[in-house]
Amino acid sequence: MALWSWNVDDNKFTMDELAFDLWGLPWSQTVEFEELSAHIHPADRDRVRAAFIATSSVAGPFEIDFRIILGDDIRWISARGLGADQGIVDRLKYGIFLDVTGRKQAEEGHELLAGEMSHRVKNLLSIATGLTELTSRSAASISDMTRELTQRLTALGRAHDLVRPLPGEQGRAALLGDLLSVLLAPYEDTAAFSGRIRVAVPRMGVGERTATTLAMVIHELATNSVKHGALSSETGVLGISSETDEDDLILTWAETGGPPITGQPDMQGFGSKLIARSISGQFAGRIVYDWQPTGLVVALRMRRAALAS
């Protein structure tokens, strides 16, 4: 908690040493309001200016949360004080700055988790519908369909355990090929179209920390395919292959035989952002979508060292 006083006549602040450290500024007798504003995140700057001006006419306590930029870091600050002339002494208003970065990061984490949970529930319902349709194509009787659908849903449960493992269960997948096979097992046909999912990847290990992230990415791609792509069609085929490029592994996800693609869809949804963030953050890589008329081709570039960690 840092202390400040604000001269409402000349818009200059006097702050303690902790406040200067908080803002990343060298200590001085006073600092002008505009000098502080220059460090406020551009998205928050106008809002903070308007809020401070409003404190001159609105009585009672105020609290303003905003971001400041310190080099490559972003810090959340909460400015608190009393509005109007309440507590003013010799044209000086007094208040505090609080570093609330930890709280804001926790709030953002909770919002992300809530959004991801909602996204997962909707996806699972769509997957269940898609798997039911897949099973009905090859089942010769109700009993066959019941058995095959149960097998698919059981396989889906095993795949979901890799995406969201229980505490102490992380990193069970040891080989890349095994991981992909388990994740895609729910979507493989067991009769007429058996073998339409083809996986050809090198024998390489997947580390404990990265198995869950990669599983989440593959699960998201498979979900989109069973809803809109090759896995939603009787004649659809999915091939997963790989190649190496210096320190990287390029995993290629290629769909054919699905519904015709007439243009590039909007990739601003939660799932698309989740994949992009996972690939760049966990694997120091990137993802490229190629919407070909014959089907979607996705290139996942990942650092091999990160994949094995």
What CATH number does the domain containing 65 carry? 3.30.450.20
Residue 165, pLDDT > 60, answer: no
Q: What is the pLDDT of residues 59-90, one digit of tens each?
A: 778 888 999 998 878 899 998 888 777 667 77
CATH number at residue 301: 3.30.565.10
Say yes or no: 224 and 269 in one domain: yes
Of 22-31, 118-127, 212-221, highest mean pLDDT: 22-31
Check pLDDT > 70 for residue 163. Answer: no
What is the mean pLDDT of the segment spanning 28-39?
Answer: 86
Angle among Cα 63, 69, 72 to the nearest 5 degrees reads: 145
Q: Is the pLDDT of residue 239 over 90?
A: yes
Of 65, 99, 133, which one is at a domain's C-terminal end?
Answer: 99
Q: How confident is the model at residue 72, as a pLDDT?
A: 79
Note if the pTM is more than 0.85: no
Do 181 and 210 fall into the same domain? Answer: yes
Residues 300 and 174 in one domain: yes
Q: State the average pLDDT over residues 238-250.
A: 90
Domain finish residue from 51, 82, 99: 99
Question: How many residues are there in the chain?
Answer: 309
Taking all residues of the chain, what is their mean pLDDT, rounded to a whole number? 80
* Tens-digit pLDDT profile for residues 262-298: 777 766 666 677 778 878 887 888 999 998 888 999 9
Q: Are residues 242 and 156 in the same domain?
A: yes
Do residues 283 and 233 share a domain? yes
Q: Is the domain of 140 the same as that of 229? A: yes
Please state, for a pLDDT cut of 90, what percent of the chain lies above it: 11
- Whether residues 118 and 94 fall in one domain: no
Do 257 and 145 lie in one domain? The reply is: yes
pLDDT of 176 over the 90 cut: no
Please state the rounded mean pLDDT for residues 120-140: 67
Q: Based on the structure, what is the number of domains in the chain?
A: 2
**What residue numbers bound the domain in which 290 lies?**
104-307
* Whether residue 141 sits in one domain with residue 93: no
Dihedral sign, Cα of residue 13, residue 14, residue 19, residue 24? positive
Query: Mean per-residue pLDDT for 43-62?
Result: 82
Q: What is the predicted pLDDT for the residue at 192?
A: 42
pLDDT in the model for residue 241: 93
Same domain, yes or no: 66 and 126: no
pLDDT at 121: 67
Which residue, of 99, 127, 142, is where some domain finishes?
A: 99
Q: Are 166 and 208 within 8 A, CB to CB?
A: no
Whether 44 and 157 map to the same domain: the answer is no
175 and 91, same structural domain?
A: no
* Among 89, 44, 82, CA closest to 65: 44
From 14-18, 206-210, 295-299, the region with the lowest mean pLDDT: 206-210
